[in-house]
Structure 1
Amino acid sequence: MDLLRSLPLGLYLEEPITWLHKLDSRVKFVWLMSFLSTYIFANTWWRVILVFVLIFITLISGIPRRVWQQQMGYLLSICFLVLIIASLSPDGMGIDYQPRLPANTQVVNVPSSQNSQKNPILSIFDSQEYNYVLFARGPVKITRHSFDLAVRLSTIFFTVLYSTTLYLLTTAPEEITAGIESLMQPLRRFKIPVTEIALTLTLSLRFIPLVLEEIQNLIRSVMTRAINWKKLGLKGVVKVWMMVAERLLQNLLLRADQMANGIVVRGFIGSNKHRVQWHHLRLKSLDWVAIIVLILFWGMRFAIGNEVN
């Protein structure tokens, strides 16, 4: 099991250089925030559209199939499982559904030929029946409210996880921090340590692959010992994994201490006295095209994505 290859969370793809790599980090960050914010107060159709837009961007981005195929497959499988479980779960409304008319009320049925001649609109409404319960067979029942909640939950799960993963996959950690620091420059007037926040973010992004590597090494070390889990029992299994978690914490603290010592040895005094510019941010023609598409994206959100109460 190779976590760094099967689930490349937070890892940067250095090669090949796609058009997503060439976009300015600030433009990509605004796009990421747009994916996460347009979801708020949106209807069900817009939430599904966001999922298809992310898949479409991945297909046309030029990212190798081996990088995203397994990861997207796992994520789509989990979202589909969440959709099924949430659809079959009770909707929580607690309503007893009863017919509007009493059982002994007699309704006079007008022949369809006379009905269509007198009022042609009435025949159209008669053919459109509204059913709150979409599917009911035995103990299984799917209502409109439960299905709507299932779609909302599964789509937000995919949108949040995959949009951030795609952003980290095509943007270097130093470029991310440089873009966020550039966007946060107005906050300097309020004496907010923008550079320190950017440095902390850089170290955090650099630390994610180290965490995955430590987890991978510990899992391999446990698998190579050929432990008989059935003989250990539940208490023994919990004890083994607690020891693994303790070892993982020790290794991560050791890596953090080594990283801090490396910064001190290199003479880091302060953010204002020791600065290295990795990327010179400048908007290019491709970035302006992405900004125009972003404006159209928000226009479609307000045109077709508003939730109707």
Structure 2
Amino acid sequence: MDLLRSLPIGLYLEHPVTWLHRLDPRVKLVWLLSFLITPVISNVNWRIVLALGAIAITLTARIPFRALRQQAGWLLIVCTIAFIVTCFVNDGLAISSQPRWPDSALAIAPATNYQYILLQVGRFHVTRHSLDLAINLSSILFVLIYSSSLYLLTTAPEEITAGLEDLMQPLRRLKIPVTEIALTLTLSLRFIPLVLEEIQNLFRSVTTRAINWKKLGLRQSFNLWLIVAERLLENLLMRAEQIAIAMEVRGFTSPDRHRVQWHQLRLGISDGVALGILVLFWWVRLVWGWAA
């Protein structure tokens, strides 16, 4: 069991370095926000285009399949389950409202092939409304999670915090501590692997002792895991204290006095092309992507 490499989402891919890695983190962050915002009040066609666009970006960047296998696999399973469940959900979700069934004259009219019920399996049926709702739900779920994981996969934690700090500079006029927020976020992202390492070490220490859980019983098992959790908390507090001491030894008193530049932000030609495509992206969304 290796928690540092088996997480289904949030891992950073250091190698190979793709064109997505080389983009400025601010540009990638604006693109991510566009993928998260544009599905709101959009039609189903736009959401499907977003899902296909995210897959196309992954293919053109030539991201190894091993890096996407876990997170894409779980995401596809969740989206498939959401799609199937929503398809067979009752029309109106058990809410008292105006019936959605077509007029009886329309239903028996020989001049039209309109069918509101698309599939019926016993007491369950798939209607046009439930199918549209299922496509909307599964597509927006895929876009939101996949685009976020793709951003984390191709952007280092230091780049994320540097980009956020630069984009939040206007908030300084409102007396908001932008540098402190960026530093806290950086330390938090760097502390996550330490937490996973401590959990992994404690889990291995428990498994190597070959404890017979059946003989312990429920109460003693609970006491044992309580001791493990207490030990985990002690180790994490000790790690946090070590980080604080290391910062004090290096003379770190405040972010304004001890400035740490995590990443150099520079816009290149590829960033300009990405921003140009982003303008076209938003133009298409405003013209064509609205919900009916």
The interval holding the TM-score normalised by the smaller chain is 0.7 to 0.9
Query: 2:204, 2:123 → 1: CA distance?
Result: 44
Question: How many angstroms does 1:240 deviate by?
Answer: 5.6
The answer for the alignment partner of 2:280 in structure 1 is: 296
The answer for the alignment partner of 2:187 in structure 1 is: 203
Q: Give the partner amino acid of 1:184.
A: M
The answer for the alignment partner of 2:2 in structure 1 is: 2
Q: Give the partner amino acid of 2:281.
A: F
The 1:297/1:215 distance shift into structure 2, 3 A limit, reads farther
The answer for the alignment partner of 2:37 in structure 1 is: 37
Three-state SS of the structure 2 residue aligned to 1:136 is strand
Whether 1:284 and 2:268 are equivalent positions in the alignment is yes
Alignment equivalent of 2:128, drawn from 128, 141, 144 = 144
The answer for the alignment partner of 2:140 in structure 1 is: 156
Q: Deviations over 1:81-116 (max 9, x none)?
A: 2222232333414566767449xxxx9x8xxxxxxx
The 1:243/1:166 distance shift into structure 2, 3 A limit, reads farther
| TM-score normalised by length of structure 2 | 0.85
Three-state SS of the structure 1 residue aligned to 2:119 is strand
The answer for the alignment partner of 1:114 in structure 2 is: none
Three-state SS of the structure 2 residue aligned to 1:279 is coil
> Which ranges of structure 1 fall in alignment gaps of 5 or more residues?
110-122
Whether 1:25 and 2:9 are equivalent positions in the alignment is no
The 1:75/1:4 distance shift into structure 2, 3 A limit, reads farther
Q: Deviations over 1:33-57 (max 9, x none)?
A: 1111111111122222222222221
Query: 2:156, 2:275 → 1: CA distance?
Result: 20
Query: 2:88, 2:229 → 1: CA distance?
Result: 36
Whether 1:89 and 2:82 are equivalent positions in the alignment is no
Question: How many angstroms does 1:289 deviate by?
Answer: 0.7
Question: How many angstroms does 1:245 deviate by?
Answer: 4.3
Query: 1:241, 1:44 → 2: CA distance?
Result: 47
> Which ranges of structure 2 fall in alignment gaps of 5 or more residues?
none
Q: How many residues align?
A: 287
| TM-score normalised by length of structure 1 | 0.81
What is the CA RMSD across the aligned residues, in angstroms? 2.8
For the Cα contact (< 8 Å) 2:9–2:71, is it kept in 1? no
Query: 1:238, 1:141 → 2: CA distance?
Result: 46
The 1:251/1:184 distance shift into structure 2, 3 A limit, reads same
Q: Give the partner amino acid of 1:180.
A: L
Query: 1:99, 1:192 → 2: CA distance?
Result: 56
The 1:219/1:52 distance shift into structure 2, 3 A limit, reads farther
Query: 1:224, 1:75 → 2: CA distance?
Result: 33
- Where do 1:179-258 residues align within 5 Å? 179-227=163-211, 243-258=227-242
The answer for the alignment partner of 2:152 in structure 1 is: 168
Greater shift in the superposed pair: 220-229 or 180-189: 220-229
Three-state SS of the structure 2 residue aligned to 1:127 is coil
Q: Give the partner amino acid of 2:283.
A: G
For the Cα contact (< 8 Å) 1:47–1:152, is it kept in 2? yes
Look at both structures and tell me which one has the larger radius of gyration over its CA atoms: 1
Whether 1:71 and 2:56 are equivalent positions in the alignment is no
User: What percent identity do the matched residue pairs reach?
Assistant: 57
For the Cα contact (< 8 Å) 2:79–2:142, is it kept in 1? yes
The 1:221/1:180 distance shift into structure 2, 3 A limit, reads same
The 1:136/1:33 distance shift into structure 2, 3 A limit, reads same
The 1:101/1:68 distance shift into structure 2, 3 A limit, reads closer
Q: Give the partner amino acid of 1:260.
A: A
Query: 1:86, 1:236 → 2: CA distance?
Result: 43
Query: 1:186, 1:42 → 2: CA distance?
Result: 30
The answer for the alignment partner of 1:60 in structure 2 is: 60
For the Cα contact (< 8 Å) 1:13–1:170, is it kept in 2? yes
